[in-house]
């Protein structure tokens, strides 16, 4: 049975057609998708796509490839194939399984926001704490826990791929559906806030917090992108947005002996210097 669904991601509205109840249930759970109605089409749609599973084989470790024609762009790897119009308004996805479908949607959405120069998907945790929005690229401890492992008051915006809008000298973090250890609250899908700072954690023997130079921060941020643009023109867009991002908010390398301890040091200037 075919289902037509509405997905809301940040400021973008997507309509996705899926051919089974299984994919409908997955999309509703993972993306808080709801059945599309006449009201869905009363406002502009950013992207209309169809998605299915059963394509290819499991991921073989090789990165995605890209090819372009006069009518469309293709992204593919062993476990998915994306065909999208040149203006990123229509697309089809064929994926091996649900995991591959999620990765294909991340790739497609990242390409969309890059094409529009809207923002970045960053491999990072992002949360709201005491009215401040913070982002951390620590991969060994994706959950924002204190050193005593008691969770502090926070609202999680992402646990894997932070969704950041780059607008002039402001960065705004949105509630990301691209997660690995949690699900979005359907009542909070539009939650967002202006980003205050970015923390890049590195386990060391001593605790200190180092303000990164613009050059170093840009380099690290580009390596943290959830999907690296495969076209040189699009790569130039991501580079420009990364430069704008590091000029908008401070980036710190936060060094701590225990990976899970870094957030307890996030606002304590134990030792600071510029690099």
Domain residue ranges of the chain, discontinuous segments joined by +: 3-116, 121-265
Give residue 266's pLDDT: 52
Average pLDDT, the chain: 88
Ranking 48-62, 86-100, 105-119, 129-143 by mean pLDDT, the lowest is 129-143
What is the pTM (predicted TM-score) of this model?
Answer: 0.87
Residue with tokens 């090819």: 67
Kindly report, residue by residue over 81-93, the tens digit of the pLDDT: 999 999 999 999 9
Give residue 106's pLDDT: 96
Q: What is the mean pLDDT of residues 46-55?
A: 98
- pLDDT surpassing 50 at residue 31: yes
Which comes out higher in pLDDT, residue 229 or 127?
A: 127
Give residue 157's pLDDT: 95
Structure confidence at residue 258 as a pLDDT band (50, 70, 90):
low
- Burial per residue of 221-242, b for 16 or more beta-carbon CB atoms within 10 angstroms, e otherwise: bbebbbbebbeeebeebbeebb
User: Count of residues for the chain?
Assistant: 275
């Amino acid at each position: 049975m075919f289902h037509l669904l509405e997905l809301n991601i940040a400021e973008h509205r997507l309509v996705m057609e899926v051919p089974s109840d299984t994919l409908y249930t997955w999309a509703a759970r993972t993306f808080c998708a709801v059945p599309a109605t006449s009201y869905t089409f009363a406002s502009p749609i950013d992207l209309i796509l169809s998605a299915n599973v059963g394509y290819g084989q499991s991921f073989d470790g090789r990165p995605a490839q890209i090819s372009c024609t006069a009518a469309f762009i293709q992204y593919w790897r062993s476990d998915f194939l994306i065909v999208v119009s040149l203006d990123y308004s229509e697309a089809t996805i064929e994926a091996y399984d649900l995991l591959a479908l999620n990765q294909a949607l991340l790739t497609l959405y990242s390409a969309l926001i890059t094409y529009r120069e809207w923002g970045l998907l960053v491999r990072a945790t992002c949360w709201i704490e005491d009215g401040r929005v913070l982002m951390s690229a620590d991969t060994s401890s994706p959950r924002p826990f204190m050193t005593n492992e008691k969770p502090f008051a926070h609202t999680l915006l992402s646990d894997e791929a932070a969704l950041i809008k780059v607008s002039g000298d402001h960065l705004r973090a949105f509630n990301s559906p691209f997660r690995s250890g949690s699900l979005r609250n359907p009542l909070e899908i539009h939650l967002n806030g202006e980003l205050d700072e970015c923390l890049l954690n590195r386990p060391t023997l001593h605790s200190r917090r180092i303000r990164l130079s613009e050059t170093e921060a840009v380099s690290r941020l580009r390596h943290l992108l959830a999907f690296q643009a495969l076209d040189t023109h699009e790569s130039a867009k991501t580079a420009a947005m990364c430069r704008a991002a590091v000029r908008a908010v401070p980036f710190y390398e936060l060094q701590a002996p225990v990976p899970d301890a870094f957030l307890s040091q996030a606002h304590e200037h134990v030792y600071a210097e510029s690099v």
